[in-house]
Structure formats: C-alpha cells, structure tokens
Amino acid sequence: MTDTLTEIDPRKVASQNDAFRRHVCLGAAWPEGIPALEGQMVMTPGVRALGRLAVEACRPMVGRAAEFDPDNDPDGYHDFGAVEVFGTKVWWKLDAHDRNYAFGSDDPSDPDQTARVLTLLLPGEW
C-alpha cells in the first residue's frame, strides 16, 4: 500500500477488464499493448447449480459483453453486467485485488499490482 493517491484512468481499466473477460470466457489472445493479466473466474453455488450447460452458455455472453453506458457503468470500468441464460438472469462482477487476493488493488490499471476475479452470480446471491 502506498501513501500517495494514484490517478486511475477508467479507460485503461476498462480495456484491461474487457481483455481479461474475453481471455477467460472466450479464450481470446491478449490484445497488443495489454500484457497477460493475472486472475481467475469463479462462480457462486447458485450459478453452479444451474448446471454445466448453463455455465458454458453463460461464458461467451459474458466474454462478449459490450453494452456499457453511464447508466449501467457509471465508473467506466466495464466491471459489471448481466446476461440471461435459459431464462435465468446471471450477473457477472469483475473485482481488482492485490496480487495476494487479500485486498483491493491500489491501482487496478497497473497489471504488476493487480489480480482480477471474475465472479458469476445470481442476483439473489449479491
């Protein structure tokens, strides 16, 4: 943790979050200019209970999410969204942690100090 405030560029965080989602959910290569980002995808018990087919149907929808505007993405980070899978709404949330997954990242735009966690969850599990 540092004693200085870091100016976080939402566009940089958004492009990294988009690249991370595409890589984890679609197997996409890292775009030029974005290093391989550390992180993982997890799901809640409710999403797991939907079954393998639902989870596999959900992943490409999350990976292709591109509908972001000031109403659904006020910070501009592209870190939250919702998809519908077989009639069930599934939320996804992308959090930026420190590299030990113990705290939030001091600077989510800095891959050297950030590990991402993409969580698939049902709205009732929030």
Which has the closest alpha carbon to 122: 69, 86, 95? 86
pLDDT (0 to 100) of residue 3: 56
pLDDT (0 to 100) of residue 5: 65
Give dist(CA 18, CA 20) in Å, integer: 5
Cβ neighbours for 31, distance < 8 A, ≥ 6 positions apart: 15, 19
pLDDT (0 to 100) of residue 54: 97
Give dist(CA 52, CA 101) in Å, integer: 27
pLDDT digits (tens, 9 = 90+) for 29-41: 999 989 999 999 9
Amino acid symbol at 25: C
Tell how strand 88-97 and strand 115-121 pair up.
antiparallel
For each of the chain's 126 residues, which pLDDT tens digit applies?
Answer: 555 667 899 999 999 999 999 999 999 999 998 999 999 999 999 999 999 999 999 999 999 999 999 999 999 999 999 999 999 999 999 999 999 999 999 999 999 999 999 999 999 998
What does the block give as tokens for 31? 């775009």
pLDDT (0 to 100) of residue 118: 99
pLDDT digits (tens, 9 = 90+) for 6-37: 789 999 999 999 999 999 999 999 999 899 99
Give dist(CA 118, CA 14) in Å, integer: 14
